[in-house]
Every structure is written in C-alpha cells, then in structure tokens.
Amino acid sequence: MKKIKIIANVCFVATIGLFTLTSCEADADNLGSQFLDGNAANGQESSYPVIAYNIDNKDSIRSDAKNLTNAILGAFDEPVFGMHKAAYVTQLRPSAYGTDFGTNPKVDSVVLQILPSYVTDSVTTTTTTINKVSTDQDSTKTVNTYPLVKYGRAKIGGNPVKFKLNVHEVTDFLYDNTKTYFSNQVVATGANPLGTKQIDGFVRGVKITKVGDNTELLSKDPGIRIQLDKNFFQNKIIAYQGKNELSDAASFIRHFRGLRLSVDENDGFLFNLNPNTMSVTMYYSNDVTKDNTTTRQQNTYTFDLGTSNVHFSQFTFNRPSAPSAYTTAMGNINKTTGDAKLYLQGAGGNGAEFVIPTSIIEGLRNVYTQKKAGILTAKIRLYSDESTWKSAFAKPSTFTVLQKDMKQFMDDQTALAGAGYIRVKATNLDKNPAYYDITITQTVKNIVEKDAENKPIVINVGDFTANSQTGALLGWNYTSRAYTPNRVVLVGTDASNVNKAQLQVIYTKK
C-alpha cells in the first residue's frame, strides 16, 4: 500500500440487532435454552442477532478547532448518500502587532498557502533549465507533482476533476477559539472573492538551484498557493498602520474577521488539509532613504492561521430525492426491532447503535452462574451490504465505539489496551462484502458477570485521535469524525440476510 502523508484516520460505523435469538445450536423460538445445553461450556462459538438501527446525526457535527486537527475541502456526489460539500472558515492573526511598515508602503502581492495531505511515494518530476537568473548563473527548476489524498472521483465524464477554489472575506465576528462551532454554522462573507484558483487532484513542490554547486535559490513545499487581492490588503492592513485595529489580537480579529475557503462545483472529491500549516504572506515594499538616495525595500508580513485562531468546517448535504432507499430508511428508523440496512457516513452523517437483547444477556448469565462458563471473547460482526453498496470508493477502515451516554471510553478500550486489544478488525475492504469485527469482550463480561447496565453501543465513522508524540489516545471525545469523508451501507437487523448484524460469543468453562 502507498504510504500516505496524512494525520487523519478514516473511519467507519456500525450496528445492532433483533429480539429473536438464533445460534448454531438452537431454534429461534427456544430463546436462551442453548446456553444450558450440555455443550454450552466447551469453548464453543455461537452467533446471535442484535437490534441494529440508524442514528440520524442531523447532518451536523462539532467541527471547531478542538476537534479539527485536520479538515476536508471539496465536493462529492454519489447516488446512495447524495451530495456532500465541504467548506472551511478560519480567523487569521498577524505574526506581530503594531508593525511599522515604513515610508510609502505598498503591497506587491499576497499569497495564501495550503499544504494538503498527499501521497508521498507517487511523484512525477520535471526539470527545466533557467538561463541567467539574478545570480548571473544558469539554474535548474525542479517541480515534483504528487496526488492529493482524496475521497471521491478522479474523473467525471472521462475528464480529470477540477475545482474553482474561492477565498472570501468573512464579515461575521467569530469570537475566540474557545467558542463551539458545528458544521452547519453559516457565516456572512464579502460579495466578491479575494482570490480564486483552479485546482486539480495534485499538489506541486518547486525547487530552484544553481547549476554547478546546487546552491538552493528557492524552495516551496508541495501545496496550493492562491494569489489574493493586493488592493484589499493595502486598504485593510497597510492603511491602518499605527491605528488600534492592528495593535493587539482582540482588536485585529474584530477588524479582519476571517477567511472562508469553498469550491463552486458540486461533485468530484474531498481532500484533506492541516489547518495549522496554512499561512498568508503579504509581500510589500517601502521607501528607504540613505545618502539622499531613495530606494524601495522588499519586506514580508505573515499571518498565522493555526491553533490560536477560530476555525471550523462547514458541511452541506443534498440527499437523494424521496423516495430512495436512504430517505426511506432515515424516515423510518426502528429502535424496537431494528433497521434492515445501516447508512454510515462521516463528517456529520449518520451513525448507528446496537442493543444486545435482554434475553441473550440472561442466557449468558445463566451459563456463567449455573454451568460455571465464562465469556472468552465477544464481538459484533458487521457486513457491508453487497446489494446496495457496490461502489469502488474506499470503505471505512475503522470507527469509534462508545456506550450511549457514557462520557468515557468503553471498558474494553481501557482494560485491554495493553493486551493487544484491537477495537475494530476490518477484513476484505477491497471486496464485496467486507466485514468488521468490533471487540466488546470486557463490556459484555461486565454486563453478564457484574450486572453492569446493558447500554446501547454507539458506532460512528471516524477514529479516536492520538498524541502525535506518544501515540496515547487524547480522550473519548477527541475523534477524526469531523474530517473523515468515508461512507458505507451495512447489513443491520435483517432476518432474511445471512450477513445480518450478529453478536459472536466464545464461552468456556473456568
């Protein structure tokens, strides 16, 4: 597999089942009796339906700086879930306040730089010779082109996908980075963009070196660079030299309230970017007089768009017109007997819950108390729905798993973390169907053996995020859900489908 330069982990979500119990040993109408069979405590695996149903997240998710170590931008449309469009809003702050721009300062150019995630081991290199640069020596220009890490289509109608990327001024005050924002937040912007650029599915890095000694004259990381309106910055920044608006952070973020990045198109792909590596550089010149001679001096003034600023993702969804399988399912969620199909989608889309029926728990408890048999492993197995989700788009590889209303990791995550615990094992992701095993051994043992409450288990597309240095998870409420674009349809509670959502238990004598 290709190595990918990306922080974000893509994710997946799943499921729940049914009141009627079936196993490899008993009929559905003989509920619980198989737990008392003579073979029940001999290290045997049995499978039982669970109550699985969709959870409507209202196409919204918290997407501010607290949960946004990455962001997505772009648009993608497919027939099952419909259109998903992503924009990005951020404040910006200068690298220094109260700057003296000198005499007769004039903005020459302004550049916004975005450093998206890209595939590092897939590169196309072009080299050209530049004759007689300012050093009076030939130089070599090398351009390395890398594919973006993206989700969606590379081509539409046989033509490569291209987006018109727009940058607008935000005119609403965004407060500070402690404010909570959700992905359906709307902000007002200026009528005309400050800059636009056509982008494709690639990023390019540039390096210029002298011929001969290879002295580096210029180096730009692979990224997207957008020229912004220099007159706007002349009037918004330079014209306010010496005024309160540029004197401190509180004044500045009320004066220049932010930027919004968006695309015009409604289909193509979603790509990943790191908000904390974005920057705006203003190139300006001013008069310098020495020995009665006035010359122009070149300078730069940079703006930080990183963690100190408010930033959040905005998501727009256009779901398939009713009646469709999606709209029918989401309009008829059945928490009593379950849903036949589960529609899981990241970045504000739907999640799912599953409930282990009380009768199954009681049967396992009888085995534990009467036959002295304990649970060795317990997992939920979930299959992708091969009749509905036939797309070639990457399936989620993992997902978050939590108990409903419990503001903490599940017992499995904490009790088994140091014992080779794998929360989600994904199999055959490149095939149809794929399947997922969600380990819930400790949770089920606590319910059966310690009378812990049998709460629904909640699954969402995404993963728990970790400290980049230590690898330790940051907390139950730190996830990649807000920037995971993947989606999949799973088989839920469907008695007619051999791949229905199941609880699989291996129990054995103590």
pLDDT in tens, 342-380: 999 999 999 999 999 999 999 999 988 888 888 899 999
Looking at the domain assignment, is residue 439 inside a domain? yes
Looking at the domain assignment, is residue 66 inside a domain? no
* 67 pLDDT tier (thresholds 50, 70, 90): low
| 265 shares its domain with 373 | no
| 338 shares its domain with 266 | no
Answer whether residue 27 shows pLDDT above 80.
Answer: no
Q: Which two tokens stand for residue 484?
A: 């995971």
| 36 shares its domain with 126 | no
d(CA 203, CA 384): 33
Query: Taking residues 54-79, what's their average pLDDT?
Result: 90
For 6: left if phi > 0, alpha if psi spans -120 to 50, otherwise beta; the answer is beta
Lowest average pLDDT, out of 145-154, 207-216, 289-298, 432-441, goes to: 207-216
Residues of the chain above pLDDT 70, percent: 90
| 155 shares its domain with 27 | no
Residues of the chain above pLDDT 90, percent: 75
Q: Which residues lie across from 401 on neighbouring strands?
A: 459
Q: How confident is the model over 55-66, as pLDDT tens digits?
A: 999 999 999 877
The whole-number pLDDT of residue 420 equals 75
Please count the structural domains in the chain.
2
Answer whether residue 35 shows pLDDT above 60.
Answer: no
Looking at the domain assignment, is residue 324 inside a domain? no
Answer whether residue 213 shows pLDDT above 60.
Answer: yes
Q: How confident is the model over 377-430, as pLDDT tens digits?
A: 999 999 999 999 988 899 999 999 999 999 999 999 888 776 678 999 999 999
| 40 shares its domain with 89 | no
Looking at the domain assignment, is residue 189 inside a domain? yes
| 245 shares its domain with 355 | no
Alpha helices in 313-440 (DSSP H): 325-330, 358-370, 411-415
Looking at the domain assignment, is residue 436 inside a domain? yes
Looking at the domain assignment, is residue 65 inside a domain? no
Q: Which residues lie across from 377 on neighbouring strands?
A: 506
End-to-end CA distance of the chain: 43
* DSSP per-residue letters across 86-149: EEEEE--EESSSS----EEEEEEEEEEEE-B-EETT--EEEEEEE-S-TTSS-EEEEEEEEEB-
- Which among 257, 290, 316 is the end of a domain? 316
Q: Is the peptide bond before 433 cis (omega within 30 degrees of 0)?
A: yes
| 280 shares its domain with 391 | no
| 471 shares its domain with 383 | yes
The whole-number pLDDT of residue 175 equals 94
Phi, psi of 310 (to 5 degrees): -65, 130
d(CA 151, CA 314): 17
| 246 shares its domain with 206 | yes
| 150 shares its domain with 222 | yes
Q: Which residues lie across from 271 on neighbouring strands?
A: 73, 150
* 12 pLDDT tier (thresholds 50, 70, 90): very low
Burial (Cβ within 10 Å: 0-12, 13-18, ≥19) of residue 325: middle
- Which among 285, 316, 347 is the end of a domain? 316
Query: Taking residues 181-202, what's their average pLDDT?
Result: 96
| Residue range(s) defining the domain that contains residue 130 | 71-316
| 96 shares its domain with 225 | yes
Token look-up 């940051």 returns 474
Looking at the domain assignment, is residue 163 inside a domain? yes
* 14 pLDDT tier (thresholds 50, 70, 90): very low
| 108 shares its domain with 40 | no
Query: What dihedral do alpha carbons 116, 120, 123, 129 form, nearest 10°?
Result: 70
Looking at the domain assignment, is residue 2 inside a domain? no
Q: Is the peptide bond before 323 cis (omega within 30 degrees of 0)?
A: yes
- Which among 266, 281, 316 is the end of a domain? 316
Lowest average pLDDT, out of 110-119, 408-417, 436-445, goes to: 408-417
The whole-number pLDDT of residue 135 equals 52
Answer whether residue 39 shows pLDDT above 60.
Answer: no
Answer whether residue 283 shows pLDDT above 70.
Answer: yes
